[in-house]
């Protein structure tokens, strides 16, 4: 029949059901489908624009503005109000970041933990020990904390340092001129960042 389309739908069960679209219903469905696709494309474009804007902002924060302010011999600059936009200041401040990422290869993570330990900062490391004890070894489970090495168990050891803990330690150690490990070993960055603050 002209102007008709059959649409096969598969609900929760195994039996498909057939729905007929005719005339205006078909046009309405197609228009809704086009709108659906349009919204998806709009979201995709906006996400790409947002990602690009974030990359540009990071470049301005860590490279462009610090370089320009260095050339001017200052560490901050003020911008007067412009129309509805209030006056604001850009100021260079120290930036610290450190993170032994969970997705690093095991060897790289172990090297980072070992370096911290060798330098006397092992207290930063959180160690989790997971042990599987058979059901008939209940008493072993109860006594295992005090005598782990005496029991026939194979512990799974997981080490980590929370990125905020590591970053705070990095900043404190740097500001007190203490010896630091190679920054790349602990996933660290020491730099400057340009921060914006609106005037009130």
Q: Compute the mean pLDDT over every residue in the chain, rounded to the nearest whole number.
A: 85
Rounded to whole angstroms, how far apart are CA atoms 187 and 128? 21
* Residue 159 exposure: Cα atoms within 13 Å on the Cβ side: 17
User: Which is more confidently placed, 128 or 73?
Assistant: 73
Residue in this structure with the two tokens 């450190």, named with its chain if needed? 98
Mean pLDDT along residues 122-136 = 83
* pLDDT at residue 92 tops 90: yes
Q: Does the global pTM surpass 0.85?
A: no
Strand order in the sheet with 88-98: 76-79, 88-98, 188-198
Whether 20 shows a pLDDT value over 80: the answer reads no
Residue 123 has pLDDT above 50, yes or no: yes
d(Cα 65, Cα 199) in Å, to the nearest integer? Answer: 19
| Phi-psi domain of 128 (left: phi exceeds 0; alpha: psi -120 through 50; beta: other) | beta
- Nearest CA to 166 among 153, 154, 183? 183
Residue 27 confidence class, pLDDT cut points 50, 70, 90: confident
């Amino acid at each position: 029949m002209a102007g008709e389309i059959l649409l096969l739908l598969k609900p929760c069960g195994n039996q498909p059901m057939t729905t007929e679209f005719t005339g205006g219903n078909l046009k309405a469905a197609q228009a809704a489908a086009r709108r659906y696709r349009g919204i998806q494309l709009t979201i995709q474009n906006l996400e790409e624009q947002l990602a690009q804007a974030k990359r540009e902002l990071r470049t301005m924060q860590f490279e462009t503005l610090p370089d320009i302010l260095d050339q001017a011999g200052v560490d901050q600059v003020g911008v007067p109000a412009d129309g509805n936009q209030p006056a604001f200041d850009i100021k260079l401040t120290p930036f610290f970041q450190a993170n032994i990422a969970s997705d690093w290869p095991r060897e790289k993570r172990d090297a980072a933990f070992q370096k911290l330990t060798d330098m006397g900062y092992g207290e930063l490391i959180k160690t989790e020990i997971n042990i599987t004890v058979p059901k008939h070894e209940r008493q072993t489970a109860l006594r295992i904390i005090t005598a782990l090495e005496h029991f026939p168990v194979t512990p799974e050891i997981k080490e980590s340092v929370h990125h905020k803990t590591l970053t705070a330690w990095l900043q404190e150690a740097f500001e007190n001129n203490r010896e630091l490990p190679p920054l790349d070993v602990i996933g660290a960055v020491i730099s400057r960042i340009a921060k914006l603050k609106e005037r009130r």
